Amino acid sequence: MSSIGVLGANGRMGRALITVANEQQLNLTAATVRPGSDLLGVDAGELAGVGKLGVSLSATGADSIKQADIWVDFTMPEAMLAHLQLAVAAGKAMVIGVTGLTDAQYQQVQQAAKHIAIVWAPNMSVGVNLLLHLVQTAAKVMGQTADIEIIEAHHRFKKDAPSGTALAIGASIAKALDRDLAKVAVYGREGMTGERQQQTIGFATVRGGDIIGDHTALFADLGERLEISHKASSRNTFAQGALRAALWLQNKQPGLYSMQQVLGLTELS
């Protein structure tokens, strides 16, 4: 089994990854935090609350990146791109769950995938990736007459909006309807907006409390509506998917892979 490392181990997702890796008895060999952190040297298991694992937190850098074969990153775009450069230089594969990337930042991920194997996804959960297929079916059946809205809710600390998952849902629906999401997306409404244009795909964002992640695709026609929803109750859901992706990446050739491929859902398209 390939060895696995966690970048940004002190974050909420970092700790969830350590917890799930321990539960699944995976080969976790490294966990890093930013240079100068007060947590340097702390046992990763104790940080995550699962007891000593014998893996001490090290500073992210060229030396620490050599301590694992596959790295999992749920940090922030700028930090992730720095980690990506280290991984390319060391020839290490990566699983990336970072959202809020600009087009230019995503292009850097694509460029790196020419040299190393990467799984990138806006959401790592099994249920959400199945939802991405279900909304395509709904769009093909109802999309020509129904109004389509995507509603998402997350915790107060989330920095990007709409969520990467909401955008992925919109992209899946737009693809099924042969629409350009950049042209039909509506991200906010205020004042005298006039009647809704049927071709548009609306997004509504909620931020509050400790909501892990709720997403609903609404297909509202005259006389009926269909709602397809996914609600996450634990970050461990995303950690489980990410670690599943890490195991899937073992021995893969350089390239940019999706969770659809990891889960074998591409053949359902």
Separation between Cα atoms, residue 120 and residue 96, nearest integer Å: 5
pLDDT greater than 50 at residue 31:
yes
Question: What CATH number has the domain bearing residue 196?
Answer: 3.30.360.10
Dihedral angle at the C-alpha atoms of 194, 198, 201, 204, nearest 10 degrees? Answer: 40
Residues 45 and 85 in one domain: yes
Mean of the pLDDT values across residues 43-55? 97
Q: In the prediction, which pLDDT does 127 show?
A: 92
Residues 110 and 239 in one domain: yes
Residues 225 and 239 in one domain: no
pLDDT band at 269 (very low <50, low <70, confident <90, very high): very low
Position 255, amino acid: G
pLDDT greater than 80 at residue 212:
yes
pLDDT greater than 70 at residue 268:
no
The residue segments making up the domain with residue 83 are 4-120+235-268
pLDDT greater than 90 at residue 143:
yes
Residues 75 and 173 in one domain: no
Considering the chain, what percentage of its residues have pLDDT values greater than 70? 99
3-state SS string over 37-95? CCCCCCEHHHHHCCCCCCCEEEECCCCHHHHCCEEEECCCHHHHHHHHHHHHHHCCEEE
**DSSP-assigned states of every residue in 178-200:** T--HHHHEE----S---SPPTT-
Q: In the prediction, which pLDDT does 122 show?
A: 85
Residues 9 and 112 in one domain: yes
Position 2, amino acid: S
DSSP assigned state of 110: H
Separation between Cα atoms, residue 158 and residue 238, nearest integer Å: 15
**126-142 and 236-248 are packed helices; what angle lies between their axes, rounded to 10 degrees?**
90
Q: In the prediction, which pLDDT does 99 show?
A: 86
DSSP assigned state of 266: G
Q: In the prediction, which pLDDT does 11 show?
A: 95
Question: What CATH number has the domain bearing residue 93?
Answer: 3.40.50.720
Mean of the pLDDT values across residues 11-37? 96
Separation between Cα atoms, residue 119 and residue 25, nearest integer Å: 21
Q: What is the pTM of this model?
A: 0.81
Query: How many C-beta atoms lie closer than 10 Å to residue 77's C-beta?
Result: 19
Q: In the prediction, which pLDDT does 1 show?
A: 80
Residues 200 and 253 in one domain: no
Residues 150 and 204 in one domain: yes
Residues 15 and 66 in one domain: yes
Residues 14 and 110 in one domain: yes
Q: Strands 213-221 and 224-232: what pairing?
A: antiparallel
Q: In the prediction, which pLDDT does 33 show?
A: 97
pLDDT band at 180 (very low <50, low <70, confident <90, very high): very high
Count the helices and strands in the chain (H runs, E runs). Answer: 9, 12
pLDDT greater than 90 at residue 167:
yes
Residues 109 and 8 in one domain: yes
Residues 248 and 146 in one domain: no
pLDDT greater than 80 at residue 267:
no
pLDDT averaged over the chain? 95
- Location of structure tokens 């720095």: 82
Q: Order of strands across the sheet with 147-154?
A: 185-186, 201-207, 147-154, 213-221, 224-232
Q: How many residues does the chain have?
A: 269
Which positions are annotated as active-site residues?
Answer: 154, 158
Q: In the prediction, which pLDDT does 220 show?
A: 98
Residues 8 and 112 in one domain: yes
For 60-82, how does the pLDDT look when each residue is reduced to its tens digit (9 = 90+)? 999 999 999 999 999 999 999 99
> What is the domain count for the chain?
2
Q: In the prediction, which pLDDT does 265 show?
A: 80
- Location of structure tokens 């005259």: 222
pLDDT band at 5 (very low <50, low <70, confident <90, very high): very high
